[in-house]
Structure 1
Amino acid sequence: MFFTAINIQQFMPVQQPTTTASTIGTQRQSQIVSVTKEATMKAEILWSLKVTQSHYSFHSSEQTRQLFSAMFPDSEIAKNFSCGQTKCAYICSYGLAPHFKSLLTNKLKSGDENYVLLFDESLNRMTQSKQCDFHVRFWNGDQVQTQFFDIEFMGHARADDLKLAFEKGTEALPKKNMLQISMDGPNVNWSFYKKVEQSLADEYGLNLLNLGSCGLHIVNGAFQKGLSSTGWRIDGFLRAIYQLLHDCPARREEYLKVTEAQDGLLPLSFCPTRWVENTPVLERALQILPNLATYVSAVGGKRTPNPDTKSFDEVCQALKNPLLEAQINFALSVSKSVTPFLTKYQTDKPMVPFLAADLHKMLKNLMCRFIKPEVMQEAKSVKKLLDVDIKLPTNYIDYSSVDLGYVTNRILKELRAKQKVGASTIMDFRRSCRDGLVAMVDKLQQKSPLKYILVKNMGFLDPVNMADEKQTDQLKGMLRRTLAYLVDQGRINEQDCDEIIQQYAHFLDDVVQKNHSAFADFNSLSDRVDTFLHSCMSKENEVQKLWKICRQLLLLSHGQGTVERGFSVNRKIEVENLVEDTYRAQRMIVDHLRIVGGIENVAVDKELLLSVSCARQRYIDSLEEKRKKEETQAKNRKRKALFEEIEELQSKKKRLESDMKALVESADKYALKAESTGQVTLIAKSNSLRHGAKEKKVELEHLEKQLSEKQLHFKSK
């Protein structure tokens, strides 16, 4: 790594050895270790890093000086140490975080290095706003690295709001070097994506490389849709058995006593939005089904109190279903068929070269469960597999042959043999299973990354494929299609394509053959393709144009695993009264510590010390800026209130003028009528109206005076 490790021992006072025994006592008494301000500052930096890394509150730093002095009475650093709540907070927010972000920004701005941007938003429960996290993916030495970059807070998360947050959060990044935006797949994200891509095309003549939305989310969503299409409501049952015994010690004790469960197994928490993380939940539900039946029976026999809750009623209703165990086993069987993919692609390593093969394998296995063998034999390529019409009934095998999983089939046979269910019930069950598989595969076909050119063709970077001479022509075809796409997106010069293809052929014939076993034995689970190809290509002068393309392609993100894990960090950081800037700072520090491998590996160099020494002034400037902002806002509120008051007075003035005019006109009409008819009463009415008009005039004059004063006051503000 590029960081220099801290030698913590350098902060400790060092005593020089004495030369004679007679002077030992004198030297020990007179020797005072001179501890510099820099050494104390380093100690305060280390403590601030520890506070952030362990998610301590800043308040936990109170009275640390007295504590450390008591713990280390012989240390001058401990005596000079001063890092209370406020200081720890501004060291983190205005010293450490700005320095770590500048290190990252400088890397991304140096030269023409490309990067990938990843983003996702979630609710911050403390600030009660949507928090949009931005991560960047870039080359760091011989491997690709994904790192947190910034946070933006929003109310609405419409496409325009996302674009505004994107522009603000990535202001320091060179947009022309951005290769891809990695995201999950809501329509609002795609709308935002199109806006950003249009901006890049207009400004730089470039298009983003599109691999679709996150494959992890798509497979997750497909699994959820498949099981919901069966109509079984397994999710409701799993949630109910957990809630039945959660946060209720008395009921839990009664359950364990009645069921005599020696193993003490209890339901696991079910997360409805992350089905594939719930394979252990399904397995546990199957393990405790007999115990649940025993408990429900005991409640029915009044051997234990009735919980009388909605969750208990749901459990009772579900246990009446003779097919419940078969349903859970089928869900478990399907879950196990997709879990390996989701587990493998949670990594930050470059995985796009293997994505098509793994998705193809998973999709094919699911389709073989209900599609006729002759149809599947024809669908050998990715394109043909996606083109299979899975909604066409003639492509289905007979419902009795649908692959439900070994255990599910055994349970159905036992139920039929014991005459607990009829043939028609089993037929309906098998049809429900098929409907679930159809819905799942349909979503995978429609949303899968397999539809995108780069995903289908980046297998030419798989070392195992390179080692297979039988695939040489196929790999060259993949490279040609990839280059054609990159040319269309404005990412490479068309004139370089022939040379790149020749360099790839040379690489296969020369480098790969000389290191055949290393390529053939490559393991995508344990090895890193970026590090591997960097060691093989970066120093080969004959393949530098090829390597430049490979560097771009290996940057591409296969999913949102890093961003999703970041949300877990967010929840650890979230505390009441934590302001937005502090969230940003803590996330930046935590991620930097993750990248360098811990506090002991942070480079406490001159730049960091300078940044921390300026932290207090930045903090004071921030408070002053905040004070001025609040004053301006207060002034604007007063000005707005005064403006509204002036508008109200002007409106009132218009009403008075209108009323006065109407009174005068009415008085004139009555006076004219009295003159023509000689009726005295009309004169009285006319005089009464004129009197009212005079009162309105006095009121109007007073109002005009008020209005003049308010307008003068408004101009002076």
Structure 2
Amino acid sequence: MPKETTSLSPQWQHNTTSKGKSYSLWLREGKTKSTLIRTACDTELNHGHGGWTNVKSHGEQSKHLRFLKDALESGQLKSSNTTKSSSINNNINESLHRSITTLPTTINKSSYWPLNNMSDRQLTQVEKVLRAECYWTMAVSQLGFSCAAAPNMPQLFAAMFPDSRIAADLAKTDGQRSPVVVDGIVQFFVHELVKDVLTAPAYSLIFDENTIVGGPKQLDVHIRYWSEYKHGITTRYWRSIVYGNTTSEIIGRYLIDLLKVDGLDLCKLFQLGEIITNRDNMNSNTAIAMMIDKKIRMERETKTGVAVDKGLVSIGSCPLHAIQNVFMNGFTASKWQIDEIVHDFSFFFAQSSARSQDYLKAMENINSGSHQFSKQYVFSRWIEVGSSVERILRQWRVLIEYFITYLPKVNKMIVTNERWKRIKELLERKQVLALLFFFQYLYRHSFWKRLIWLQKQLPNIHILYEECTDFLRHVLQCFVKDDLLLNKTGKQLLMVQFDVATNQKTEAQLAIGESARNMLKDLSMIEKNLFMKDVRAIYSLITRELLHLLPLDNGLLRHLQFTHPLLRQQDCARASVMIVARDLPQFISENEIDRLHAEWLIYENETIPDEWYEQKPINSKLPQVTKYYPIDHYWKHIFSLKNSSGNAKFVVLGKLVKSLLSLSHGNGDIDSDLCENEMFVAEDHSPLNIATINGLRATKDAVRFYAGGKVHEVPISKALLDSVKQVCSRASVNPYKTQQLLK
């Protein structure tokens, strides 16, 4: 006869282990008669026929004792008060006696608080405090503060949560370790970044230069690659470099050394963005690119034993900077001085708060409906002057009333102000209003839309060539006869003789905007002719620079359109994919090209649902406008397809497409990051050192990457805590380094 299973005995609660720990701390009744709940391990034990022998054996295990110790230190394992109790065994240590004063005489499932999860159970109290400190440090970085800019916050947490041991212990650190914690967090996140980059077939480096007046130049370096963690293209902050009047050779060698130090594979470097965006130093970009290109080819030859002629891939200069610069050059060369007009208006009010108040009252009296001052603009982002011009045009009637009528009456000395004289002269010239309307027309209908598109962070490399072609055609259509542009695309547009007078449209056909054309009625014939002459000169100059800067003659960029979902079954796409593969011998071998051809044929005939690339409208009552998912969203589904053996269908095609999508379509997705450096200031508002900037920026980027900017959702692993503990340990041994980090 089988033995009857043993049920839980209340007497077991009073027993103690060889270490003096009472079994009542962690033992309670299970779901069945023969099972027990081990609250320290948060698991259920089947003691079977062994009864007390099995329970005692488990209680003596080292793993169980470690879990029990961690649970007691964290304060998450404690008993609730009951009416019936017994004294605790004298062998229990004093600290345990303070936390547990009574023991239940009967087993109650609600008598103990089980641990939350496995990660909590494996962390000691010290590690939980360190985890809280990591969260706090990441939150500070995410909000754009330096560690010294948010003092006394740990003490605030302790006051807000007086019952929390973690908050109390965190307050004891006084936030002094935060810079050191940042260093440990960054080391972990950079290590994870490198691991993720190494899984990609290729990556690109993108740069953005920041020149601080009176200070050194700063270069922010980002990495663009296909992330297996995100299953898509991502652009991650890597590090910032501070340099002065140095040579291109030093910058190039420094970048190569940084790549090697962090363990990034130089052979996988696919593209190098523009490093120095100043037009006077464009030769430095070429020198740096040539140096790194040579080093890459040497590394690949050493690694494979085969010499290759190609290193880095180029798709031309950044279209964002190109379009912005040609817009600026077109108007500054015309002597219209748009930037000076905007600057005079905005600076006049910036000099005096009394003037600002008077102007607001004038707007209220005139009932203009607008209560905003002229916007200032930054010369390096000249396109922003467009919104300032629009605001000036909306307030034109108020400006005339204020500057010409109101100010001379209330301030007799204003007539001696040179800026007021210039503004008064501008307001009295009718052709100024016409040129501002023309500027607004070109800004709205030609440039603004493209510049907004180029600043998107989504991968748009597959339609960049088409967008550049459409933009050039749109500018040409404004002043060149239509029959010369009919059915011309890409390279054919480069051959149009736009500067020949007979090829240009008549004055009645020139695109200047209806508002500007109406203003011409009030101008004399001489003023009208001069205006039209300037318009033609502006269009010609803009077109000439676009032809020089836009990558319309780049064959690789033109063939990249094969990645578009709608071109999957087109013959041109099949030809393009093979042309691109053969043009990249440094990434695609001859054997892989043969396999690529076979994979493309399978891809052409694959049944692919429209939902992989088309966004279906939620409200069917509205007019349906087809919207598409990002291109990497589509290819993520393609790469997930398996054959009958369970292997990926598209191996070489996946390698090629992931590499090509890592190409950057410009600096637009990282231009906004430069303002973040200004947010990181020390306690005395002095600039932080480069190590601290790297730490804060990398931490903020990691929070954005892993948790979409939500600090509380960032996974804190044991590896991250170990990294922080190692840095803190080294800093305690080397106080000088700690002081350097705190600066």
Band of TM-score, shorter chain: 0.7 to 0.9
Is it true that 1:75 corresponds to 2:75 in the alignment? no
Identify the match of residue 88 of structure 1 among 175, 178, 188. Answer: 178
The CA distance in 2 between the partners of 1:495 and 1:310, in whole Å, is: 74
What are the superposed Cα offsets for residues 367-403 of structure 1, whole Å, 9 maximum, x if unpaired?
001111111115x220101222333333222344211
Is it true that 1:377 corresponds to 2:486 in the alignment? yes
Identify the match of residue 504 of structure 1 among 592, 600, 603. Answer: 600
What are the superposed Cα offsets for residues 695-716 of structure 1, whole Å, 9 maximum, x if unpaired?
xxxxxxxxxxxxxxxxxxxxxx
Larger radius of gyration: 1
The CA distance in 1 between the partners of 2:316 and 2:72, in whole Å, is: 51
- Shift in Å, 1:623: 5.1
Letter of the 2:421 partner, please give it. Answer: D
- Describe the shift of the 1:165–1:330 C-alpha distance in structure 2 as closer, same or farther (beyond 3 A): farther
The CA distance in 2 between the partners of 1:594 and 1:345, in whole Å, is: 21
Higher helix residue share: 1
Letter of the 1:246 partner, please give it. Answer: A
Match of 1:652? none
Is it true that 1:515 corresponds to 2:515 in the alignment? no
- 1:145-164 alignment, distance < 5 Å: 145-164=234-253
Q: Contact 1:13 / 1:35 at 8 angstroms: preserved in 2?
A: no
- Describe the shift of the 1:86–1:140 C-alpha distance in structure 2 as closer, same or farther (beyond 3 A): same
What are the superposed Cα offsets for residues 198-246 of structure 1, whole Å, 9 maximum, x if unpaired?
2222332341110112111111111111122322111110111111112
Match of 1:643? none
What are the superposed Cα offsets for residues 60-90 of structure 1, whole Å, 9 maximum, x if unpaired?
5544454433332222222222333531121
Is it true that 1:18 corresponds to 2:70 in the alignment? no
Is it true that 1:123 corresponds to 2:211 in the alignment? yes
- Shift in Å, 1:353: 0.4
What are the superposed Cα offsets for residues 662-686 of structure 1, whole Å, 9 maximum, x if unpaired?
xxxxxxxxxxxxxxxxxxxxxxxxx
What are the superposed Cα offsets for residues 637-668 of structure 1, whole Å, 9 maximum, x if unpaired?
xxxxxxxxxxxxxxxxxxxxxxxxxxxxxxxx
Identify the match of residue 475 of structure 2 among 363, 366, 387. Answer: 366
- Shift in Å, 1:37: 1.1
Identify the match of residue 316 of structure 2 among 193, 212, 219. Answer: 212
- Shift in Å, 1:431: 1.7
Sequence identity, in percent? 21
The CA distance in 2 between the partners of 1:502 and 1:623, in whole Å, is: 62
Q: Contact 1:389 / 1:395 at 8 angstroms: preserved in 2?
A: yes
The CA distance in 1 between the partners of 2:640 and 2:348, in whole Å, is: 59
Letter of the 2:454 partner, please give it. Answer: Y
- 1:41-440 alignment, distance < 5 Å: 41-60=130-149, 62-64=151-153, 66-81=155-170, 82-93=172-183, 95-110=184-199, 113-124=201-212, 128-141=215-228, 142-171=231-260, 172=262, 173-183=264-274, 186-204=282-300, 205=308, 206-259=310-363, 260-262=365-367, 263-299=370-406, 301-304=408-411, 306-307=413-414, 308-336=416-444, 337-377=446-486, 380-413=488-521, 415=522, 421-440=523-542
Letter of the 1:529 partner, please give it. Answer: I
Match of 1:604? 716
- Describe the shift of the 1:193–1:65 C-alpha distance in structure 2 as closer, same or farther (beyond 3 A): closer
Match of 1:486? 584
Letter of the 1:612 partner, please give it. Answer: V
Deviates more, 1:254-263 or 1:266-275: 254-263
- Describe the shift of the 1:623–1:314 C-alpha distance in structure 2 as closer, same or farther (beyond 3 A): farther
- Describe the shift of the 1:599–1:10 C-alpha distance in structure 2 as closer, same or farther (beyond 3 A): farther
- Describe the shift of the 1:58–1:213 C-alpha distance in structure 2 as closer, same or farther (beyond 3 A): same
Is it true that 1:590 corresponds to 2:700 in the alignment? yes
Match of 1:701? none
Q: Contact 1:298 / 1:304 at 8 angstroms: preserved in 2?
A: no
The CA distance in 1 between the partners of 2:533 and 2:148, in whole Å, is: 60
- Shift in Å, 1:521: 6.5
Is it true that 1:566 corresponds to 2:660 in the alignment? no
- Describe the shift of the 1:606–1:305 C-alpha distance in structure 2 as closer, same or farther (beyond 3 A): farther
- Shift in Å, 1:303: 3.5
- Describe the shift of the 1:600–1:388 C-alpha distance in structure 2 as closer, same or farther (beyond 3 A): same
Q: Contact 2:348 / 2:419 at 8 angstroms: preserved in 1?
A: yes
The CA distance in 2 between the partners of 1:517 and 1:52, in whole Å, is: 38
Deviates more, 1:497-506 or 1:292-301: 497-506
What are the superposed Cα offsets for residues 91-147 of structure 1, whole Å, 9 maximum, x if unpaired?
112x1111111111222235x631111112212468x21111111012223201110
What are the superposed Cα offsets for residues 313-356 of structure 1, whole Å, 9 maximum, x if unpaired?
33222223211222112111111212122212212221110111
Letter of the 1:425 partner, please give it. Answer: E
- Shift in Å, 1:149: 0.6
What are the superposed Cα offsets for residues 147-184 of structure 1, whole Å, 9 maximum, x if unpaired?
01112211125322321331243232211011111226
The CA distance in 1 between the partners of 2:655 and 2:125, in whole Å, is: 48
- Describe the shift of the 1:215–1:12 C-alpha distance in structure 2 as closer, same or farther (beyond 3 A): farther
- Give TM-score scaled by structure 1 length: 0.77
Aligned residues: 602
Letter of the 1:193 partner, please give it. Answer: A
SS in 2 for 1:614: helix
Identify the match of residue 565 of structure 2 among 463, 469, 474. Answer: 463
SS in 1 for 2:241: strand
- Shift in Å, 1:610: 0.8
- Shift in Å, 1:42: 1.2
- Shift in Å, 1:261: 4.9
- Describe the shift of the 1:456–1:311 C-alpha distance in structure 2 as closer, same or farther (beyond 3 A): farther
The CA distance in 2 between the partners of 1:10 and 1:329, in whole Å, is: 74
SS in 2 for 1:131: strand
Structure 2, unaligned stretches of length 5 or more?
A: 1-70, 89-95, 102-112, 114-122, 301-307, 617-624, 643-647
- Shift in Å, 1:609: 0.9
The CA distance in 2 between the partners of 1:231 and 1:168, in whole Å, is: 47
SS in 1 for 2:177: helix
Q: Contact 1:345 / 1:559 at 8 angstroms: preserved in 2?
A: yes
Q: Contact 1:222 / 1:444 at 8 angstroms: preserved in 2?
A: yes
SS in 2 for 1:390: coil
The CA distance in 2 between the partners of 1:538 and 1:558, in whole Å, is: 26
The CA distance in 1 between the partners of 2:268 and 2:729, in whole Å, is: 34
Q: Contact 1:267 / 1:288 at 8 angstroms: preserved in 2?
A: no
SS in 1 for 2:148: helix
More RCO (CA 8 Å, sep 6+): 1
Identify the match of residue 689 of structure 2 among 579, 602, 608. Answer: 579
The CA distance in 2 between the partners of 1:11 and 1:451, in whole Å, is: 68
- Shift in Å, 1:524: 9.7
- Describe the shift of the 1:295–1:121 C-alpha distance in structure 2 as closer, same or farther (beyond 3 A): same
Q: Contact 1:90 / 1:616 at 8 angstroms: preserved in 2?
A: yes
- Shift in Å, 1:433: 1.1
The CA distance in 1 between the partners of 2:73 and 2:541, in whole Å, is: 63
The CA distance in 2 between the partners of 1:51 and 1:534, in whole Å, is: 34
- Shift in Å, 1:249: 1.3
The CA distance in 2 between the partners of 1:422 and 1:12, in whole Å, is: 86
SS in 2 for 1:273: helix
SS in 1 for 2:217: strand
The CA distance in 1 between the partners of 2:357 and 2:739, in whole Å, is: 57
The CA distance in 1 between the partners of 2:273 and 2:431, in whole Å, is: 42
Letter of the 2:572 partner, please give it. Answer: Q
Letter of the 1:133 partner, please give it. Answer: D
